[in-house]
Amino acid sequence: MMDVVRLALEEDIGPGDVTTQACVPEGQRARGRFIAREPLVAAGLGLLREIYDQRGGVEELQLLRRDGDCVSDDEILATVAGRARTLLECERVALNFLQRLSGVATLARRYAEAVAGTRCRVLDTRKTTPALRVLEKQAAAAGGIVNHRQGLFDAVLIKNNHIAAAGGVRQAIERARSAGLPIEIEVRTRAELQEALDAGANHVLLDNLFPAEAAEWIRAIAGRAKVELSGGITLENVRAYAETGADFVSSGSITHSARAMDISFRLELD
C-alpha cells in the first residue's frame, strides 16, 4: 500500500506542484472536507492517512465514515487540516483513490443485494487494475462480496489451457494436488464434468452457461462438489444465476467496470 501511494504521488506531483507553489504562500494553513456528491458505499478512506503522512504538513485528519458504510448525498466522509500546499497537492491523488475504490464497493454492494435471500455468494475475480488488486479487492469485500483468490499463488484454478497442457482433466487434477492448495477446475462439457467428479474434484467452475443450463448441470452434480458460475454474469441477471443452486457466482465487472463515484474536496483557509 505504501508503494502504491508513493507511486501515485510521484506520478501526479513530480518535482513539485507548480500551480500551488506559485499561488499559495508557504505558511498558509487550511482545512479540507471530502464530500460525497451522490449515495455510495465508502472505500479507500484508510489511504488518506498514508497519503498525507508521505507528504507531511498535516496535523489533523478525521475519518467520519468507515469502509463499507453507506453514505448519503452531501455527507462528509473525512476532514483534514494542515499546510494548504499539502492539501492541494494531494487532492487529486486522494480523490482518485476514494472515487475508484468507492465505485468498486458500491457496485459490489449492488451485486450482494441482488442475490440476498439465496444460498449463493458473489465472488470477485483477478480482472483488476494492475498494481491495485489488493485495494480493489478490499473495496469489493467492503461492499459485501467474497474475495476469490488473490493471485496465481494462493489457490489452484485449472482452466481449459491447463487441461490441454496437462493432457486431460484427470491428469491436471492429479498433478495439481502436489501444490497442497485448494483446487477448482473449469469444465466446458458434461463429459469433462463427469471426468472431474470421478477424479475427486470438490469445486467446479461452470462457464458461459445460461441459467437454465446451469441449473440442469447443478442437479446432475447433486452436491458432490461446490459450484461456481461465471461468464456473462451481470447485475441484471445475477439473481437468475444465484437461483440455480450454485454456491458462487463470479463477475469481473465488479472490479473492471465499476464507475468512479462523485466525491469532491472543498478547501477553506484557517
- What does CATH list as the number for 2-107+259-269? 3.90.1170.20
Q: State the Cα angle at 141 between 135 and 147, rounded to 5°.
A: 90
pLDDT band (50, 70, 90) for residue 220:
very high
The Cα 265–Cα 154 span in angstroms is: 38
> Is the pLDDT at 270 greater than 90, yes or no?
no
The Cα 203–Cα 226 span in angstroms is: 4
* CB distance 40 to 20 below 8 Å: no
Rounded to whole angstroms, the maximal C-alpha distance in the chain is 73
Q: What is the pLDDT of residues 167-206, one digit of tens each?
A: 999 999 999 999 999 999 999 999 999 999 999 999 999 9
Residue 92: its H or E element: helix 84-114
pLDDT band (50, 70, 90) for residue 1:
confident
pLDDT score recorded for residue 231: 96
Cell numbers given for 206: 461452470
* CB distance 250 to 124 below 8 Å: yes
Domain 112-256 has CATH 2.40.50.840: no
Catalytic residue positions?
92, 127, 159, 186, 207
pLDDT score recorded for residue 217: 98
Q: What mean pLDDT is reported for the chain?
A: 97
Backbone angles phi, psi at 64, to 5 degrees: -90, -15
Cell numbers given for 34: 471530502
Q: What is the pLDDT of residues 34-83, one digit of tens each?
A: 999 999 999 999 999 999 999 999 999 999 999 999 999 999 999 999 99
Domain residue spans of the chain? 2-107+259-269, 112-256
pLDDT score recorded for residue 88: 98
Domains 2-107+259-269 and 112-256 share a fold: no
> Is the pLDDT at 140 greater than 90, yes or no?
yes
The Cα 242–Cα 69 span in angstroms is: 25
Average pLDDT of the residues in 126-138: 97
pLDDT score recorded for residue 92: 98
* CA distances, 126 to each of 32, 106, 257 (Å): 35, 18, 13
